[in-house]
Structure 1
Amino acid sequence: MPNILITGAASGIGAETARLFHSRGWAVGLLDVDRDALAGLAGELDGAWYVAVDVTDAEAVRQALAGFCARHDGRLRLLFNCAGVLRFGHFEEIGLDEHARILDINVRGLLQTTHAAFAYLKATPGAQVINMGSASGLYGTPHMASYSASKFAVRGLTEALDLEWRRHGIRVGDLMPPFVRTPMVDNQRFEPPTLRRLGVRLKAGDIAEAVWRQARGPAVHRPVSWSFKLMYWSGQLSPSWLNRAVMGWLSREG
Protein backbone atom coordinates (compact mmCIF):
# COMPACT_ATOMS: atom_id res chain seq x y z
CA MET A 1 0.00 0.00 0.00
CA PRO A 2 1.51 3.40 -0.95
CA ASN A 3 1.82 5.94 1.84
CA ILE A 4 1.67 9.72 2.08
CA LEU A 5 2.74 12.01 4.92
CA ILE A 6 1.09 15.44 4.98
CA THR A 7 2.18 18.48 6.99
CA GLY A 8 -0.43 21.13 7.77
CA ALA A 9 -2.97 18.30 7.62
CA ALA A 10 -5.53 19.48 10.18
CA SER A 11 -7.61 21.70 7.89
CA GLY A 12 -7.96 23.20 4.43
CA ILE A 13 -5.84 21.75 1.63
CA GLY A 14 -3.99 19.31 3.88
CA ALA A 15 -7.19 17.79 5.28
CA GLU A 16 -8.85 17.50 1.86
CA THR A 17 -5.74 15.84 0.46
CA ALA A 18 -5.75 13.36 3.34
CA ARG A 19 -9.40 12.52 2.66
CA LEU A 20 -8.79 12.05 -1.06
CA PHE A 21 -5.72 9.80 -0.76
CA HIS A 22 -7.33 7.78 2.05
CA SER A 23 -10.42 7.21 -0.12
CA ARG A 24 -8.17 5.91 -2.88
CA GLY A 25 -6.43 3.32 -0.75
CA TRP A 26 -3.31 5.09 0.49
CA ALA A 27 -1.97 4.88 4.03
CA VAL A 28 -2.13 8.41 5.39
CA GLY A 29 0.04 10.17 7.98
CA LEU A 30 -1.03 13.54 9.40
CA LEU A 31 1.15 16.25 10.95
CA ASP A 32 -0.03 19.60 12.30
CA VAL A 33 0.27 21.81 15.39
CA ASP A 34 -3.50 21.53 16.06
CA ARG A 35 -3.78 18.31 18.05
CA ASP A 36 -7.57 18.39 18.50
CA ALA A 37 -8.28 18.96 14.80
CA LEU A 38 -5.82 16.20 13.89
CA ALA A 39 -7.51 13.77 16.25
CA GLY A 40 -10.88 14.61 14.73
CA LEU A 41 -9.63 14.04 11.19
CA ALA A 42 -7.84 10.82 12.15
CA GLY A 43 -11.10 9.58 13.69
CA GLU A 44 -12.84 10.28 10.38
CA LEU A 45 -10.17 8.46 8.36
CA ASP A 46 -10.01 4.92 9.66
CA GLY A 47 -6.42 3.81 10.15
CA ALA A 48 -4.85 7.25 9.65
CA TRP A 49 -1.73 7.92 11.74
CA TYR A 50 -1.16 11.32 13.28
CA VAL A 51 1.02 13.29 15.66
CA ALA A 52 0.92 16.95 16.68
CA VAL A 53 4.19 18.61 15.67
CA ASP A 54 5.55 22.06 14.91
CA VAL A 55 7.47 21.87 11.63
CA THR A 56 9.94 24.49 12.91
CA ASP A 57 11.06 22.02 15.63
CA ALA A 58 13.68 19.94 13.81
CA GLU A 59 13.94 17.19 16.42
CA ALA A 60 10.17 16.80 16.69
CA VAL A 61 9.95 16.56 12.91
CA ARG A 62 12.70 13.93 12.82
CA GLN A 63 10.91 11.83 15.44
CA ALA A 64 7.59 12.16 13.63
CA LEU A 65 9.09 10.98 10.33
CA ALA A 66 10.75 8.05 12.08
CA GLY A 67 7.50 7.11 13.82
CA PHE A 68 5.40 7.13 10.66
CA CYS A 69 7.92 5.42 8.42
CA ALA A 70 8.63 2.71 10.99
CA ARG A 71 5.08 1.53 10.34
CA HIS A 72 5.90 1.18 6.64
CA ASP A 73 9.21 -0.69 6.65
CA GLY A 74 11.21 2.53 6.59
CA ARG A 75 9.65 3.73 3.35
CA LEU A 76 7.87 6.91 2.29
CA ARG A 77 6.23 7.10 -1.14
CA LEU A 78 5.06 10.71 -0.95
CA LEU A 79 5.79 13.70 1.28
CA PHE A 80 3.34 16.58 0.85
CA ASN A 81 4.74 19.75 2.42
CA CYS A 82 1.49 21.64 2.94
CA ALA A 83 2.11 23.47 6.23
CA GLY A 84 2.20 27.22 5.78
CA VAL A 85 0.94 30.57 7.05
CA LEU A 86 -0.12 33.77 5.31
CA ARG A 87 -0.64 37.40 6.24
CA PHE A 88 -2.14 40.01 3.92
CA GLY A 89 -1.32 43.67 4.48
CA HIS A 90 1.05 46.52 3.79
CA PHE A 91 4.60 45.35 4.42
CA GLU A 92 5.49 48.15 6.87
CA GLU A 93 2.30 47.65 8.91
CA ILE A 94 3.05 43.99 9.63
CA GLY A 95 5.37 43.36 12.57
CA LEU A 96 8.82 42.02 11.86
CA ASP A 97 8.11 39.03 14.08
CA GLU A 98 5.17 38.10 11.85
CA HIS A 99 7.29 38.35 8.70
CA ALA A 100 9.86 36.10 10.38
CA ARG A 101 7.18 33.60 11.41
CA ILE A 102 5.96 33.31 7.81
CA LEU A 103 9.48 32.55 6.58
CA ASP A 104 10.16 30.24 9.51
CA ILE A 105 7.17 28.00 8.87
CA ASN A 106 6.94 28.22 5.08
CA VAL A 107 10.66 27.83 4.37
CA ARG A 108 12.57 26.45 7.36
CA GLY A 109 9.74 24.09 8.27
CA LEU A 110 9.64 22.72 4.74
CA LEU A 111 13.44 22.37 4.65
CA GLN A 112 13.53 20.47 7.94
CA THR A 113 10.71 18.11 6.99
CA THR A 114 12.22 17.34 3.59
CA HIS A 115 15.67 16.82 5.08
CA ALA A 116 14.29 14.43 7.72
CA ALA A 117 12.38 12.50 5.03
CA PHE A 118 15.33 11.91 2.71
CA ALA A 119 16.44 8.47 3.94
CA TYR A 120 12.87 7.11 3.77
CA LEU A 121 12.27 8.57 0.32
CA LYS A 122 15.56 7.14 -0.94
CA ALA A 123 14.53 3.68 0.26
CA THR A 124 11.25 3.82 -1.69
CA PRO A 125 10.88 3.16 -5.44
CA GLY A 126 9.03 6.00 -7.15
CA ALA A 127 9.33 8.32 -4.15
CA GLN A 128 8.24 11.91 -4.48
CA VAL A 129 8.08 15.24 -2.67
CA ILE A 130 5.28 17.69 -3.46
CA ASN A 131 5.68 21.19 -2.07
CA MET A 132 2.86 23.69 -1.62
CA GLY A 133 3.94 26.55 -3.80
CA SER A 134 1.85 29.48 -4.99
CA ALA A 135 1.10 31.73 -7.93
CA SER A 136 2.87 34.39 -5.84
CA GLY A 137 6.09 32.49 -6.51
CA LEU A 138 5.91 33.52 -10.18
CA TYR A 139 6.19 37.29 -9.64
CA GLY A 140 6.48 39.13 -6.32
CA THR A 141 2.97 39.96 -5.10
CA PRO A 142 2.27 43.21 -3.22
CA HIS A 143 0.44 43.07 0.14
CA MET A 144 1.81 39.57 0.73
CA ALA A 145 5.52 40.30 0.32
CA SER A 146 6.99 37.91 2.88
CA TYR A 147 4.60 35.12 1.84
CA SER A 148 5.57 35.71 -1.78
CA ALA A 149 9.25 35.62 -0.80
CA SER A 150 8.70 32.30 0.97
CA LYS A 151 7.10 30.81 -2.14
CA PHE A 152 10.00 31.97 -4.32
CA ALA A 153 12.22 30.02 -1.90
CA VAL A 154 9.97 26.98 -2.23
CA ARG A 155 10.13 27.25 -6.01
CA GLY A 156 13.92 27.46 -6.01
CA LEU A 157 14.30 24.55 -3.60
CA THR A 158 11.90 22.46 -5.68
CA GLU A 159 13.80 23.07 -8.91
CA ALA A 160 17.18 22.40 -7.32
CA LEU A 161 16.21 19.21 -5.49
CA ASP A 162 14.36 17.79 -8.48
CA LEU A 163 17.66 17.92 -10.37
CA GLU A 164 19.89 16.95 -7.45
CA TRP A 165 17.81 13.99 -6.27
CA ARG A 166 17.44 12.42 -9.70
CA ARG A 167 20.41 10.23 -8.82
CA HIS A 168 18.35 8.82 -5.93
CA GLY A 169 15.21 8.28 -8.01
CA ILE A 170 13.26 10.92 -6.06
CA ARG A 171 11.04 13.37 -7.94
CA VAL A 172 10.38 16.82 -6.48
CA GLY A 173 7.65 19.16 -7.68
CA ASP A 174 5.34 21.90 -6.48
CA LEU A 175 1.80 23.15 -6.95
CA MET A 176 1.26 26.78 -7.95
CA PRO A 177 -2.36 27.82 -7.37
CA PRO A 178 -3.72 31.34 -7.12
CA PHE A 179 -6.00 32.17 -4.19
CA VAL A 180 -7.79 29.20 -2.61
CA ARG A 181 -10.88 29.31 -0.40
CA THR A 182 -9.42 28.06 2.89
CA PRO A 183 -9.61 29.25 6.52
CA MET A 184 -6.15 30.80 6.08
CA VAL A 185 -7.51 33.14 3.39
CA ASP A 186 -10.98 33.62 4.86
CA ASN A 187 -9.63 34.76 8.25
CA GLN A 188 -7.55 37.64 6.88
CA ARG A 189 -8.46 41.19 7.95
CA PHE A 190 -7.02 42.86 4.82
CA GLU A 191 -8.18 42.20 1.25
CA PRO A 192 -5.38 42.69 -1.31
CA PRO A 193 -6.42 44.37 -4.56
CA THR A 194 -5.02 41.34 -6.38
CA LEU A 195 -7.50 39.06 -4.61
CA ARG A 196 -10.38 41.45 -5.27
CA ARG A 197 -9.60 41.56 -9.01
CA LEU A 198 -8.82 37.87 -9.51
CA GLY A 199 -11.36 36.49 -7.05
CA VAL A 200 -11.15 33.19 -5.17
CA ARG A 201 -12.24 30.50 -7.58
CA LEU A 202 -10.51 27.43 -6.15
CA LYS A 203 -11.49 25.26 -3.19
CA ALA A 204 -9.30 23.03 -1.06
CA GLY A 205 -10.67 19.98 -2.86
CA ASP A 206 -9.42 21.35 -6.19
CA ILE A 207 -5.89 21.47 -4.83
CA ALA A 208 -6.20 17.97 -3.38
CA GLU A 209 -7.05 16.74 -6.88
CA ALA A 210 -3.97 18.58 -8.19
CA VAL A 211 -1.85 16.75 -5.60
CA TRP A 212 -3.28 13.48 -6.90
CA ARG A 213 -2.40 14.38 -10.49
CA GLN A 214 1.06 15.55 -9.47
CA ALA A 215 1.68 12.21 -7.75
CA ARG A 216 1.27 10.58 -11.16
CA GLY A 217 3.03 13.05 -13.43
CA PRO A 218 6.55 14.28 -14.15
CA ALA A 219 5.87 18.04 -13.85
CA VAL A 220 8.22 20.12 -11.70
CA HIS A 221 5.76 23.03 -11.46
CA ARG A 222 2.01 22.45 -11.67
CA PRO A 223 0.06 25.69 -12.13
CA VAL A 224 -3.54 25.22 -10.98
CA SER A 225 -6.64 26.75 -12.69
CA TRP A 226 -6.90 27.62 -16.36
CA SER A 227 -6.53 31.35 -15.74
CA PHE A 228 -3.26 30.95 -13.88
CA LYS A 229 -1.97 28.34 -16.33
CA LEU A 230 -2.39 30.99 -19.02
CA MET A 231 -0.58 33.57 -16.86
CA TYR A 232 2.15 31.07 -15.99
CA TRP A 233 2.98 30.01 -19.53
CA SER A 234 2.70 33.51 -20.95
CA GLY A 235 4.96 34.65 -18.12
CA GLN A 236 7.66 32.24 -19.29
CA LEU A 237 7.68 33.98 -22.69
CA SER A 238 6.87 37.58 -21.80
CA PRO A 239 9.53 40.22 -21.12
CA SER A 240 9.96 41.07 -17.44
CA TRP A 241 8.59 44.59 -17.91
CA LEU A 242 5.28 43.18 -19.12
CA ASN A 243 4.99 40.81 -16.14
CA ARG A 244 5.70 43.75 -13.84
CA ALA A 245 3.06 45.85 -15.57
CA VAL A 246 0.40 43.15 -15.22
CA MET A 247 1.16 42.68 -11.53
CA GLY A 248 1.15 46.46 -11.04
CA TRP A 249 -2.35 46.67 -12.50
CA LEU A 250 -3.68 43.72 -10.49
CA SER A 251 -2.34 45.11 -7.22
CA ARG A 252 -3.22 48.78 -7.75
CA GLU A 253 -5.02 50.22 -4.73
CA GLY A 254 -8.09 52.37 -5.10
Structure 2
Amino acid sequence: MNRILITGAASGIGLATAQRLHARGWRLGLLDVNDHALRSLHAELGGDTWFRAVDVTDPAACQAAADDFAAQAGGLDVLFNSAGLLRMGPVEEVDLADHHRTLEINVLGVLHMSLACLPHLKRSERPRVLNMSSASALYGVPDLAVYSASKFAVRGLTEALNLEWRRHGIQVQDLMPPFVNTPMVTGQTYRAPVLERMGVKLSAEDIARAAEQALESQRVHTPVGLPFRVTVLLEKLAPRWVTREILRHLSR
Protein backbone atom coordinates (compact mmCIF):
# COMPACT_ATOMS: atom_id res chain seq x y z
CA MET A 1 0.00 0.00 0.00
CA ASN A 2 1.34 3.45 -0.95
CA ARG A 3 1.50 5.99 1.86
CA ILE A 4 1.10 9.68 1.02
CA LEU A 5 1.11 12.85 3.10
CA ILE A 6 -0.89 15.68 1.49
CA THR A 7 -0.75 19.32 2.55
CA GLY A 8 -3.69 21.60 1.80
CA ALA A 9 -5.78 18.43 1.86
CA ALA A 10 -9.07 19.96 3.00
CA SER A 11 -9.83 22.00 -0.12
CA GLY A 12 -9.32 22.26 -3.86
CA ILE A 13 -6.58 20.18 -5.46
CA GLY A 14 -5.45 18.58 -2.18
CA LEU A 15 -9.01 17.47 -1.44
CA ALA A 16 -9.59 16.05 -4.93
CA THR A 17 -6.27 14.20 -4.82
CA ALA A 18 -7.04 12.74 -1.38
CA GLN A 19 -10.41 11.49 -2.59
CA ARG A 20 -8.96 10.01 -5.78
CA LEU A 21 -6.05 8.21 -4.12
CA HIS A 22 -8.18 6.98 -1.21
CA ALA A 23 -10.49 5.31 -3.74
CA ARG A 24 -7.44 3.53 -5.13
CA GLY A 25 -6.36 2.16 -1.78
CA TRP A 26 -3.66 4.61 -0.77
CA ARG A 27 -2.94 5.20 2.91
CA LEU A 28 -3.52 8.92 3.50
CA GLY A 29 -2.09 11.50 5.85
CA LEU A 30 -4.07 14.74 5.58
CA LEU A 31 -2.68 18.13 6.60
CA ASP A 32 -4.41 21.50 6.43
CA VAL A 33 -4.65 24.65 8.51
CA ASN A 34 -8.47 24.25 8.56
CA ASP A 35 -9.18 21.74 11.34
CA HIS A 36 -12.97 21.74 10.82
CA ALA A 37 -12.68 20.96 7.11
CA LEU A 38 -10.11 18.25 7.85
CA ARG A 39 -12.45 16.56 10.29
CA SER A 40 -15.23 16.61 7.70
CA LEU A 41 -12.92 15.01 5.13
CA HIS A 42 -11.78 12.41 7.65
CA ALA A 43 -15.41 11.54 8.37
CA GLU A 44 -16.08 11.20 4.63
CA LEU A 45 -13.09 8.99 3.87
CA GLY A 46 -13.18 6.83 6.97
CA GLY A 47 -11.17 5.97 10.02
CA ASP A 48 -8.18 4.57 8.14
CA THR A 49 -7.07 8.10 7.23
CA TRP A 50 -4.80 10.14 9.47
CA PHE A 51 -5.15 13.90 9.81
CA ARG A 52 -3.78 16.89 11.67
CA ALA A 53 -4.29 20.65 11.52
CA VAL A 54 -0.88 22.12 10.62
CA ASP A 55 0.37 25.48 9.40
CA VAL A 56 3.16 24.63 6.96
CA THR A 57 4.99 27.85 7.85
CA ASP A 58 5.79 26.25 11.24
CA PRO A 59 8.76 23.90 10.71
CA ALA A 60 8.42 22.23 14.13
CA ALA A 61 4.78 21.43 13.45
CA CYS A 62 5.69 20.06 10.02
CA GLN A 63 8.33 17.80 11.54
CA ALA A 64 6.02 16.50 14.24
CA ALA A 65 3.30 15.76 11.68
CA ALA A 66 5.67 13.93 9.33
CA ASP A 67 7.11 11.86 12.18
CA ASP A 68 3.71 10.97 13.63
CA PHE A 69 2.17 9.97 10.31
CA ALA A 70 5.18 7.85 9.35
CA ALA A 71 5.04 6.11 12.74
CA GLN A 72 1.31 5.47 12.41
CA ALA A 73 1.46 4.31 8.77
CA GLY A 74 4.69 2.36 9.07
CA GLY A 75 6.53 4.70 6.73
CA LEU A 76 6.05 7.32 4.04
CA ASP A 77 6.33 6.97 0.27
CA VAL A 78 5.05 10.25 -1.19
CA LEU A 79 4.80 13.86 -0.05
CA PHE A 80 2.38 16.03 -2.02
CA ASN A 81 2.98 19.71 -1.30
CA SER A 82 -0.43 21.03 -2.34
CA ALA A 83 -0.95 23.84 0.19
CA GLY A 84 -0.85 27.26 -1.43
CA LEU A 85 -2.05 30.84 -1.31
CA LEU A 86 -2.97 33.28 -4.09
CA ARG A 87 -3.73 37.00 -3.88
CA MET A 88 -4.50 38.70 -7.19
CA GLY A 89 -4.07 42.41 -7.76
CA PRO A 90 -1.54 45.05 -8.81
CA VAL A 91 1.49 44.34 -6.67
CA GLU A 92 1.44 47.72 -4.90
CA GLU A 93 -2.26 47.36 -4.03
CA VAL A 94 -1.98 43.99 -2.29
CA ASP A 95 -1.25 44.20 1.42
CA LEU A 96 2.41 43.53 2.19
CA ALA A 97 1.38 41.00 4.83
CA ASP A 98 -0.41 39.01 2.11
CA HIS A 99 2.74 39.03 -0.02
CA HIS A 100 4.73 37.70 2.93
CA ARG A 101 2.16 35.03 3.69
CA THR A 102 2.12 33.93 0.03
CA LEU A 103 5.88 33.43 0.02
CA GLU A 104 5.86 31.73 3.42
CA ILE A 105 3.21 29.17 2.46
CA ASN A 106 4.09 28.60 -1.19
CA VAL A 107 7.87 28.46 -0.80
CA LEU A 108 8.90 27.94 2.81
CA GLY A 109 5.99 25.57 3.37
CA VAL A 110 7.29 23.33 0.57
CA LEU A 111 10.81 23.47 2.01
CA HIS A 112 9.65 22.77 5.58
CA MET A 113 7.57 19.76 4.61
CA SER A 114 10.20 18.36 2.26
CA LEU A 115 12.90 18.50 4.93
CA ALA A 116 10.54 17.08 7.55
CA CYS A 117 9.69 14.11 5.35
CA LEU A 118 13.20 13.46 4.07
CA PRO A 119 14.26 10.95 6.78
CA HIS A 120 11.14 8.88 6.15
CA LEU A 121 11.29 9.09 2.36
CA LYS A 122 14.88 7.82 2.45
CA ARG A 123 13.55 4.55 3.88
CA SER A 124 10.90 4.09 1.17
CA GLU A 125 11.37 1.82 -1.84
CA ARG A 126 9.84 4.32 -4.32
CA PRO A 127 10.00 7.74 -2.65
CA ARG A 128 8.53 10.81 -4.34
CA VAL A 129 7.98 14.48 -3.60
CA LEU A 130 5.33 16.15 -5.75
CA ASN A 131 5.07 19.95 -5.58
CA MET A 132 2.36 22.29 -6.85
CA SER A 133 3.99 24.74 -9.19
CA SER A 134 1.97 26.63 -11.80
CA ALA A 135 1.78 27.86 -15.37
CA SER A 136 2.82 31.20 -13.88
CA ALA A 137 6.27 29.69 -13.27
CA LEU A 138 6.91 29.79 -17.03
CA TYR A 139 6.85 33.59 -17.35
CA GLY A 140 6.00 36.23 -14.73
CA VAL A 141 2.27 37.02 -14.75
CA PRO A 142 1.01 40.56 -14.06
CA ASP A 143 -1.45 40.94 -11.16
CA LEU A 144 -0.04 37.66 -9.82
CA ALA A 145 3.49 38.98 -9.36
CA VAL A 146 4.38 37.51 -5.94
CA TYR A 147 2.39 34.31 -6.52
CA SER A 148 4.22 33.93 -9.84
CA ALA A 149 7.55 34.53 -8.11
CA SER A 150 6.72 31.91 -5.50
CA LYS A 151 5.98 29.33 -8.20
CA PHE A 152 9.24 30.13 -9.98
CA ALA A 153 10.88 29.34 -6.64
CA VAL A 154 8.99 26.04 -6.39
CA ARG A 155 10.05 25.15 -9.91
CA GLY A 156 13.70 25.88 -9.12
CA LEU A 157 13.55 24.04 -5.80
CA THR A 158 11.98 21.04 -7.52
CA GLU A 159 14.73 20.88 -10.12
CA ALA A 160 17.53 21.30 -7.59
CA LEU A 161 16.16 18.77 -5.10
CA ASN A 162 15.52 16.25 -7.86
CA LEU A 163 19.24 16.41 -8.62
CA GLU A 164 20.42 16.58 -5.00
CA TRP A 165 18.17 13.83 -3.66
CA ARG A 166 18.93 11.43 -6.48
CA ARG A 167 21.58 10.07 -4.14
CA HIS A 168 18.73 9.02 -1.83
CA GLY A 169 16.68 7.54 -4.66
CA ILE A 170 14.03 10.27 -4.26
CA GLN A 171 12.24 11.60 -7.35
CA VAL A 172 11.15 15.25 -6.96
CA GLN A 173 8.52 16.55 -9.38
CA ASP A 174 6.02 19.33 -9.86
CA LEU A 175 2.69 20.03 -11.56
CA MET A 176 2.25 23.17 -13.66
CA PRO A 177 -1.42 23.91 -14.34
CA PRO A 178 -2.97 27.21 -15.42
CA PHE A 179 -6.04 28.47 -13.54
CA VAL A 180 -8.02 25.74 -11.78
CA ASN A 181 -11.61 25.92 -10.57
CA THR A 182 -10.90 25.90 -6.84
CA PRO A 183 -11.92 28.22 -3.98
CA MET A 184 -8.45 29.79 -4.15
CA VAL A 185 -9.24 31.09 -7.65
CA THR A 186 -13.01 31.59 -7.53
CA GLY A 187 -12.82 33.39 -4.17
CA GLN A 188 -10.64 36.25 -5.43
CA THR A 189 -12.08 39.73 -4.94
CA TYR A 190 -9.88 41.08 -7.76
CA ARG A 191 -10.13 39.35 -11.13
CA ALA A 192 -6.91 39.69 -13.09
CA PRO A 193 -7.41 40.41 -16.81
CA VAL A 194 -5.35 37.32 -17.68
CA LEU A 195 -7.85 35.22 -15.72
CA GLU A 196 -10.81 36.75 -17.56
CA ARG A 197 -9.18 36.22 -20.96
CA MET A 198 -7.88 32.70 -20.39
CA GLY A 199 -10.83 31.47 -18.37
CA VAL A 200 -10.82 28.59 -15.92
CA LYS A 201 -10.82 25.37 -17.92
CA LEU A 202 -9.46 22.87 -15.41
CA SER A 203 -11.11 21.27 -12.37
CA ALA A 204 -9.46 20.08 -9.18
CA GLU A 205 -10.23 16.54 -10.33
CA ASP A 206 -8.22 17.18 -13.53
CA ILE A 207 -5.19 18.08 -11.42
CA ALA A 208 -5.71 15.07 -9.14
CA ARG A 209 -5.64 12.87 -12.23
CA ALA A 210 -2.47 14.60 -13.42
CA ALA A 211 -0.91 14.09 -9.98
CA GLU A 212 -1.59 10.37 -10.09
CA GLN A 213 -0.13 10.13 -13.60
CA ALA A 214 2.94 12.16 -12.64
CA LEU A 215 3.67 9.78 -9.78
CA GLU A 216 3.87 6.96 -12.32
CA SER A 217 6.26 8.87 -14.60
CA GLN A 218 9.83 10.10 -14.51
CA ARG A 219 8.98 13.66 -15.58
CA VAL A 220 10.29 16.46 -13.41
CA HIS A 221 7.72 18.99 -14.72
CA THR A 222 4.16 18.12 -15.72
CA PRO A 223 2.37 20.92 -17.62
CA VAL A 224 -1.37 20.33 -17.30
CA GLY A 225 -3.91 20.97 -20.04
CA LEU A 226 -3.38 20.96 -23.81
CA PRO A 227 -3.26 24.78 -24.27
CA PHE A 228 -0.54 25.17 -21.67
CA ARG A 229 1.43 22.20 -23.02
CA VAL A 230 1.42 23.97 -26.39
CA THR A 231 2.61 27.16 -24.67
CA VAL A 232 5.48 25.26 -23.04
CA LEU A 233 6.47 23.85 -26.43
CA LEU A 234 6.30 27.34 -27.94
CA GLU A 235 8.51 28.67 -25.14
CA LYS A 236 11.15 26.09 -26.09
CA LEU A 237 10.99 26.71 -29.82
CA ALA A 238 10.28 30.43 -30.16
CA PRO A 239 12.16 33.51 -28.89
CA ARG A 240 11.24 34.45 -25.34
CA TRP A 241 9.68 37.75 -26.46
CA VAL A 242 6.87 35.72 -28.07
CA THR A 243 5.72 34.48 -24.66
CA ARG A 244 6.02 38.02 -23.29
CA GLU A 245 3.82 39.39 -26.05
CA ILE A 246 1.21 36.69 -25.53
CA LEU A 247 1.01 37.51 -21.82
CA ARG A 248 0.89 41.23 -22.57
CA HIS A 249 -2.11 40.63 -24.82
CA LEU A 250 -3.86 38.41 -22.28
CA SER A 251 -3.30 40.95 -19.51
CA ARG A 252 -4.97 43.91 -21.25
TM-score when normalising by structure 2: 0.98
The aligned counterpart of 2:102 is 102
What is the CA RMSD across the aligned residues, in angstroms?
A: 0.7
The aligned counterpart of 2:9 is 9
Q: Deviations over 1:220-246 (max 9, x none)?
A: 000000000000111122211111111
Quick check: 1:251 aligned with 2:251?
Answer: yes
Quick check: 1:163 aligned with 2:163?
Answer: yes
- CA displacement at 1:250 relative to structure 2: 1.0
Matched residues, number? 251
Gaps of 5+ in 2: none
The aligned counterpart of 2:201 is 201
Quick check: 1:57 aligned with 2:58?
Answer: yes
The aligned counterpart of 1:234 is 234
Quick check: 1:137 aligned with 2:137?
Answer: yes
CA distance in 1 between counterparts of 2:159 and 2:103 reads: 19
Quick check: 1:184 aligned with 2:184?
Answer: yes
CA distance in 2 between counterparts of 1:237 and 1:78 reads: 34
Gaps of 5+ in 1: none
CA distance in 2 between counterparts of 1:77 and 1:198 reads: 36
- CA displacement at 1:146 relative to structure 2: 0.3
Equivalent pair of 2:162/2:171 in contact (CA under 8 Å): yes
Secondary structure of the residue that 2:175 maps to in structure 1? strand
- CA displacement at 1:72 relative to structure 2: 2.7
CA distance in 1 between counterparts of 2:214 and 2:77 reads: 13
CA distance in 1 between counterparts of 2:42 and 2:175 reads: 25
TM-score when normalising by structure 1: 0.97
Q: Deviations over 1:138-196 (max 9, x none)?
A: 00000010000000000000001111111111000000000000011111011111111
The aligned counterpart of 2:69 is 68
Equivalent pair of 2:27/2:73 in contact (CA under 8 Å): no
Secondary structure of the residue that 1:63 maps to in structure 2? helix
Secondary structure of the residue that 2:86 maps to in structure 1? coil
CA distance in 2 between counterparts of 1:111 and 1:32 reads: 16
CA distance in 2 between counterparts of 1:132 and 1:200 reads: 17
